């Protein structure tokens, strides 16, 4: 073996490892840079401009001190690298200069666009979550239920109910996430057809159920959530809101919808909820079902960005709750323990899967 060649390969691997470590040590700066772009309203400014915007015009629109021009350039350079903006050449007299344009990712972060993930990004980058994540290592050496509890002395759901500002942002996040529900209905409409009634358990302000009820006007939809969540919400002809606790009782229906609910709870609580769901569809007999929209981790088949997002979500659930993102075998275990006979998983574009669970 060529000793020098071996040394070169070892050095190359060492420097590659160094770059890999640096990348992950500083990953949080990508999140904070994105947060600053949303705080500065950069995506909406570019959108309102109607065409790619140059750095001087962006500086002017942001009402930023011209002395910070080079700093704004550096922020935009990172966000372009991260895929949130793109650069194009913009004519300037006989010359050209660089203009910044939106990408599909930043279009998804426009405040008033449909669909939009603006409020979801704001909620997930809230100090309550970011600060809790800093205590993950401490939590492993403690007896606290979650890192969130370590920091705030209460569970995440209690914090949401007691902190009105965060609660409002959290519910806006759920609504913004549900803004893509119409795509699910379009692709999986048959899943919701053939029923007279549907109960959306943990349905928040009813964003998902509104899409379903408008798409299927003959389907009677009921949203069940905590009283403080559904208070003052107006019923419509085929959509009503009920305050309650899914661990105590779930209104009867032909089908039950659980959208992004079970990933927030541990296995024991999930089985309790699923058993209540089974009771709620009992009158429908074998034709009733539970419809779950949630993540199913499949590290072998998921594309890299999808896999990364699911794994990040899983650690976030560990930080905030005693829940988790589950692999198929873990979902199956819950269904069998709750007394269901079989299930069917359909992949939905993006991170989600649609799971139909039968008595």
Q: Which residues are annotated as catalytic?
A: 263
Q: Read off the tokens for 342.
A: 């079989």
Pairwise CA distance, residues 143 & 222, whole Å: 39
Per the CB < 8 A criterion, the answer to whether 325 and 263 are in contact is yes
* Residues contacting residue 189 through CB under 8 Å, at least 6 positions apart: 215, 216
Q: Read off the tokens for 51.
A: 């065409």
Pairwise CA distance, residues 143 & 150, whole Å: 9
Half-sphere exposure of 70 (CA within 13 A, CB side): 1
DSSP H or E segment with residue 259:
strand 255-259
DSSP H or E segment with residue 352:
strand 352-358
Per the CB < 8 A criterion, the answer to whether 59 and 11 are in contact is no
Cite the DSSP H helix spans in the chain: 3-25, 27-39, 42-49, 55-61, 69-81, 104-107, 118-124, 127-133, 136-140, 147-152, 156-162, 164-178, 181-192, 207-215, 227-230, 267-280, 304-320, 328-337
DSSP string, 91-153: EETTEEEEEEEE-HHHHTT-TT-SS--HHHHHHHTSHHHHHHHTTHHHHHTS--S-HHHHHHS
Pairwise CA distance, residues 88 & 54, whole Å: 9
Per the CB < 8 A criterion, the answer to whether 293 and 348 are in contact is yes
């Amino acid at each position: 073996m060529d000793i020098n060649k071996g040394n070169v390969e070892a050095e190359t691997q060492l420097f590659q490892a160094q770059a890999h470590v640096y990348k992950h040590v500083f990953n949080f700066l990508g999140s904070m840079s994105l947060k600053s772009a949303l705080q500065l309203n950069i995506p909406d400014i570019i959108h309102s401009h109607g065409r790619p915007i140059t750095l001087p015009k962006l500086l002017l629109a942001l009402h930023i001190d011209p002395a910070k021009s080079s700093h704004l350039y550096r922020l935009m350079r990172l966000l372009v690298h991260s895929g949130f903006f793109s650069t194009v050449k913009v004519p300037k007299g006989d010359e050209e200069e660089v203009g910044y344009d939106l990408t599909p990712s930043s279009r998804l972060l426009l405040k008033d666009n449909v669909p939009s993930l603006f409020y979801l990004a704001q909620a997930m980058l809230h100090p309550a979550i970011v600060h809790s994540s800093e205590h993950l290592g401490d939590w492993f050496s403690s007896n606290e239920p979650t890192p969130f509890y370590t920091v705030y002395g209460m569970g995440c759901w209690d914090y949401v109910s007691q902190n009105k500002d965060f609660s409002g942002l959290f519910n806006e996040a759920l609504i913004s996430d549900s803004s893509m529900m119409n795509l699910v209905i379009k692709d999986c409409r048959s899943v919701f057809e053939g029923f007279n009634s549907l109960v959306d358990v943990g349905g928040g302000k009813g964003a998902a159920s509104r899409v379903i009820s408008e798409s299927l006007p003959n389907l009677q939809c009921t949203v069940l959530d905590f009283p403080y969540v559904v208070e003052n919400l107006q019923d419509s002809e085929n959509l009503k809101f009920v305050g309650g606790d899914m661990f105590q009782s779930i209104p009867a229906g032909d089908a039950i919808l659980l959208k992004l609910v079970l990933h927030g709870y541990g296995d024991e609580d999930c089985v309790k909820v699923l058993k209540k769901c089974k009771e709620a569809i009992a009158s429908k007999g074998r034709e009733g079902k539970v419809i779950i929209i949630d993540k199913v981790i499949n590290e072998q088949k998921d594309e890299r960005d999808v896999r990364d997002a699911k794994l990040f979500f899983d650690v976030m659930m560990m930080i905030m709750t005693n829940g988790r993102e589950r692999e198929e075998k873990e979902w199956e275990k819950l269904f069998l323990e709750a007394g269901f006979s079989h299930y069917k998983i359909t992949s939905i574009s993006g991170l989600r899967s649609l799971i139909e669970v039968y008595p």
